Structure 1
Amino acid sequence: MKIRSDILRVYQALHTWVGICAGMLLFIGFFAGALTMFKQPLDRWISAPVHTLPGLPAAQTDALVSTLLAERPAAREEFVLHLQQHENIAAPVSWSEGAGGREIDLSARRWYATLDVHGQLIAQQALPSLLAQLIDMLHRTGGVPGTLGDEYLGVYLMGVAGVLYFLALVSGVILLLPTLVKDFFALRPGKNRKRFWLDAHNVVGIASLPYHIVISVTVIVFAFHDQLYGGLSRFVYRDQPMFTPRVAAGQYPLRELRPASELIAAVQREAPEFEVTELLYMGLESPRPMVRAAVASPRYLVQGAETGYVLLHPYTGKVVDTSMLPSKGDPWSDIVAPMFSLHFGSYGGSLMRWVYFAFGLSGAFLFYSGNLLWVEKRRKNQARDGALPQQKLATRLMAAATVGVCLGAVAGVSLTIVAGKWLSGAAANINAAYLAVYYAVFLSALAWAFWRGAARAGSELLGLCALGALAIPLTSLAAWLMPSTGWWAHGSAAALGVDATALVFAAVFAWAARLAARRAAHGPRDSVWAAPMP
């Protein structure tokens, strides 16, 4: 296919500049997003077993709910009944005292409860680890702090980056059309490093193009959903509720609350192919009480990050809304739900999570390699037997920023994960410690990259990434061998999977650090990736 050269130049400029403007922010979003595919294993790895209360057989669920509501009035506002037990779930039931919101409250303590052998309520309060939520927030905001109105500033910036991201995808495809068949699977290693990075960038981009189109569109929707829904509510729905089902208001006495087992049976009749994982009770003493049942099935596209939802009336036991249940919603829900599922990867079970994990890492590579290509394209080559050219300041700064931001984020996340155990006994608030560790490592890595230069900092920060990843399985090993440290190690497949994955990352980063150091020492001297001569 032939395209005029002037048109290609326009799209090349568009592709280059929108990629540069959004690349580093999207790198952080994609890397953290890949990790969010395994939020539960991360929670299990980091959760201390001392906070776990014993589970209950299903036959005692009704007794637990009635005892809880009788003895703990604060739980009547909102509590969660967990129907599955994992290492990251501390008790069969949990609740908080206080109002919630979009922002993560790092100091919010949560109550956990169960029944003892005599049917008496056992309750304890603890500060839950928010590691997985904070990594998800890093994915949503790119690590940009601050708020704008009721939303995080970083969310809006990621929405703008999503628009640029979509433009980069479209322009990149147009650039490749003339040589798509010939160069699609071409990966040409050799002395021409720019050619190799361009081949790798193109192969990864085209091979994962449908995934990236879905992510770019959904990022825009998620960032500006308040504005979109506000417009729909004003001009389309008017006085009709968009999400909350129309339920007649009325005050009900607590004694008429339906047993949890009856609500679970009602959900299973409505969704027989789904498993009910939890019940969220809301506003039991309000005019509009509600129970939201979370249902999971790897066979269906669901609207939540991991589950679909069914809404029930807790006093009548009737199902009042199934719009967030696959094949049970209205046409609008049937259109929206797959978009959520395709972004979250909440279908296909563990296999699809690993696929999305690989796609997330490939997206991070796409933006990292794009920045490297920008740097290489603006490199001044040394003439034969001539003096070494002085690279432009913008080129050197972009190389240092790329290394500092991208590798600083990776090292920051790795060291934040291990800090959850290292600082467990010393930090008054482990969630605040997570943020302190991440930003300290990230900002230090960025400053180091500008001070040392991209060539030297590249191998050094890759080495730090390798050490940070290696520290994760070594911490688990130390917990097994030296219980006196106060650390802990879970023996489940999920927790061991975190250690094994981190070990693979450590090996990859160590290999990359060795290559970067070799290129800095022996590569072309006219490159920004060459270490300065003594």
Structure 2
Amino acid sequence: MKPATLRMFTAVHTWTGLLAGFALFIAFYAGALAVFHDEIDTWAVPKTAAVETDTMDRAQRMLADIVASHPAAKEQIGVTYPANHPSHEVAAYWFDKDGWKTQTLADSGARDSEDHEHGLADFVYELHYTLGVPVAGIYLMGVVSIIYGLALLTGLLIHLPHLVRDLAALRPGHNLKRLWQDAHNVIGILSLPFHIVFAVTGALLCLSLVTMMAFDYAAFDGKLVPASERMTSAMPATHATGREATMLSPRDLGGRARRAALAAGAADFEPDYMRYMHYGDAGAAAEVRGTSTKTLGEYGMVSLDAVDGHVLAVQVAGARDANHATYSAIFGLHFGSFGNLSVRWLYFVLGLAGAFLFYSGNLLYIETRRKRRQADQPLKVRAMATATVGVCIGSCLAISATFVANVLAPVFGGRPEAIVQPVCFGVFALAVAWTLWRRPARAAVDLLWATAIASLSIALLDMAINGERLARSLSEGRWAVAGVDAVAIAMGVGFGWLAVATRRRVVEGDQNSVWAGHRRAGPTLARDVA
């Protein structure tokens, strides 16, 4: 490769990594935790009421009441099934003139679905795919995924001529630039296939609607978006007849869907959501969505006649067309839901490694551009160090603090689902402000210790407050709660080790560095920026 071409690829790789790096750090760190969404969900709600035997009977009455008071809901109304995880509450969803509405069995009336409060596990999942930014966040992450793919491509082209040599090179020592370069290269090369999967599937998941609308306008004369319904569901075209009819219950339809899925070849099928089209009409149909194991895409769908229950279409593992097989494969590959526990642990490790990849890329940028013969570093170096510490370590602290708040909220009479978002964003803002005030070298040590203490507190507080629940779950052979506590302890120890290593670098490292512990006499970063 010509030197000029190599320099161009290096520049593109550097700047695409910097542009997307902060968002991707949060997405990968939160995504690693979101792999164990159901386990976190079980841990986060220690006192879960047992599902009552008449839950779906009451849900059927709720649907009838909603349709009676909201005629627009007849066109389409859905309901979730009770499950073994506390956030899977029974709730109805329908579209009204003001947008999507939702109502749970405990609600006294309808409310906007966007205002529906999610628990800790759902919030961590939202951080992964929207960064907690409403509406625009998912599209932002789609753009970030495209930039991420470009960074991967240029990185591969840079290292392709000496791929094997870079894979075996990890040279610890006093040369920080070389150490960060080696660590960045080794992790990037080892996890490259998975990063390609994440970049491609992330862009498809986040930007599919925007892309479809663009093609619909440019080439399909408005016919593509309506057709997409048939491509991504099992519901055939339905039409209201104008004749009233009695609907089969969600319980009955779920049972019929399960039998149809098993007959079609699915290993199992557990209904989790269903929707009616033309509720109360003789032409009504219902689609039941459920999860299956031992398949690349865990979600499958069965559509049935809502009046007599006969099967209209089946889209489950072993009986999918090409569209549904592709769509389910995208989800399965991105979230690692296609495998057993070992696959999920692999995705967890890859998520943390991915976060480190972007963190180390920032550190490499800093080491490459710092002045080695003077203590006063350029503004761009200090700004990148401040942003890296504040955003990356600050987001880790914020997520750990959110787990702590979830444990403490019931003790003080609060509702965890109401405070997880304010606590996370509040702590994150404080971490960024602390970094600006303390400067990145000292702030990094402070925030790492704070994250270590917060992570250890997750487990210690849970054991102290909910110890009976923990003992009971272990005696019953359920390891989800203990697993979350164990990972929190391991993360606390890991962050503590990083704090010690960072403190050593501040004291013993090169003093001509932004990571040195001295205080320079010049203006602060905040004043420089101003």
For the aligned pair, the TM-score class normalised by the smaller chain equals: 0.7 to 0.9
1:374 and 2:365 are equivalent in the alignment: yes
Using the TM superposition, give the Cα deviation of residue 21 of structure 1 relative to its aligned residue in structure 2, in angstroms: 1.1
Using the TM superposition, give the Cα deviation of residue 96 of structure 1 relative to its aligned residue in structure 2, in angstroms: 4.0
Q: 1:424 to 1:23 in 2, by over 3 A?
A: same
Using the TM superposition, give the Cα deviation of residue 516 of structure 1 relative to its aligned residue in structure 2, in angstroms: 0.1
| C-alpha contact 2:271 2:290 (8 A) present in aligned 1 | yes
Corresponding residue of 1:53: 50
Corresponding residue of 2:168: 185
Listed as ranges, the matches of 1:488-527 within 5 Å are: 491=474, 492-527=478-513
- Equivalent residue of 1:532, what SS? coil
Listed as ranges, the matches of 1:32-43 within 5 Å are: 32-43=30-41
Q: 1:314 to 1:405 in 2, by over 3 A?
A: same
| C-alpha contact 1:233 1:242 (8 A) present in aligned 2 | no
Unaligned runs of 5+ residues in structure 1 are 57-62, 114-126, 147-151, 383-387
- Equivalent residue of 1:184, what SS? helix
Using the TM superposition, give the Cα deviation of residue 64 of structure 1 relative to its aligned residue in structure 2, in angstroms: 5.7
Q: 1:278 to 1:75 in 2, by over 3 A?
A: farther
| Separation in 2, partners of 1:85, 1:351 | 21
Between stretches 21-30 and 261-270, larger displacement belongs to 261-270
Using the TM superposition, give the Cα deviation of residue 296 of structure 1 relative to its aligned residue in structure 2, in angstroms: 1.2
Q: 1:5 to 1:131 in 2, by over 3 A?
A: same
Corresponding residue of 1:81: 81
| C-alpha contact 1:189 1:196 (8 A) present in aligned 2 | yes
Q: Give identity over the alignment, percent.
A: 32
Corresponding residue of 2:104: 110
Using the TM superposition, give the Cα deviation of residue 129 of structure 1 relative to its aligned residue in structure 2, in angstroms: 4.9
Listed as ranges, the matches of 1:400-479 within 5 Å are: 400-426=386-412, 430-479=416-465
Q: Give the structure-1-normalised TM-score.
A: 0.83
Unaligned runs of 5+ residues in structure 2 are 68-76, 108-115, 231-235, 521-530
Using the TM superposition, give the Cα deviation of residue 35 of structure 1 relative to its aligned residue in structure 2, in angstroms: 1.0
| Separation in 1, partners of 2:343, 2:66 | 36
Cα deviation code 1:406-462 (max 9, x no counterpart) = 111111111111211211254655333111101111011011111111111111111
- Equivalent residue of 1:310, what SS? strand
| C-alpha contact 1:75 1:95 (8 A) present in aligned 2 | no
Using the TM superposition, give the Cα deviation of residue 502 of structure 1 relative to its aligned residue in structure 2, in angstroms: 0.7
| C-alpha contact 1:218 1:339 (8 A) present in aligned 2 | yes
1:322 and 2:318 are equivalent in the alignment: no
Corresponding residue of 2:186: 203
| Separation in 2, partners of 1:220, 1:477 | 40
Query: Which amino acid in the other structure matches residue 300 of structure 2?
Result: G
Q: Count residues in correspondence.
A: 487
Between stretches 248-257 and 12-21, larger displacement belongs to 248-257
| C-alpha contact 1:310 1:322 (8 A) present in aligned 2 | yes
Cα deviation code 1:33-86 (max 9, x no counterpart) = 11110111111011141x413454xxxxxx76456534763477432233x534
Corresponding residue of 1:132: 121
- Equivalent residue of 1:254, what SS? coil
Using the TM superposition, give the Cα deviation of residue 403 of structure 1 relative to its aligned residue in structure 2, in angstroms: 0.6
| Separation in 2, partners of 1:46, 1:514 | 30
Corresponding residue of 1:18: 16
| Separation in 2, partners of 1:362, 1:246 | 45
Corresponding residue of 2:296: 301
| Separation in 2, partners of 1:246, 1:279 | 20
Using the TM superposition, give the Cα deviation of residue 478 of structure 1 relative to its aligned residue in structure 2, in angstroms: 0.9
Query: Which amino acid in the other structure matches residue 517 of structure 2?
Result: A
| C-alpha contact 2:265 2:318 (8 A) present in aligned 1 | no
Q: 1:12 to 1:247 in 2, by over 3 A?
A: same
| C-alpha contact 2:170 2:183 (8 A) present in aligned 1 | yes
| C-alpha contact 2:80 2:88 (8 A) present in aligned 1 | no
Question: Quick one: which of 298, 302, 306 aligns to 1:310?
Answer: 302
- Equivalent residue of 2:289, what SS? strand
Corresponding residue of 1:121: none
RMSD: 3.1
Q: 1:329 to 1:52 in 2, by over 3 A?
A: same
Question: Quick one: which of 219, 235, 238 aligns to 1:247?
Answer: 238
Cα deviation code 1:445-503 (max 9, x no counterpart) = 011111111111111111111111111111111114699xxx99954311111000111
- Equivalent residue of 1:53, what SS? coil
| Separation in 2, partners of 1:489, 1:89 | 22
Moved over 6 A (4+): 100-105
| Separation in 2, partners of 1:103, 1:436 | 25
| C-alpha contact 1:162 1:219 (8 A) present in aligned 2 | yes
| Separation in 2, partners of 1:478, 1:154 | 37
| Separation in 2, partners of 1:431, 1:257 | 30
Corresponding residue of 2:74: none
Query: Which amino acid in the other structure matches residue 204 of structure 2?
Result: V
| C-alpha contact 2:266 2:292 (8 A) present in aligned 1 | no
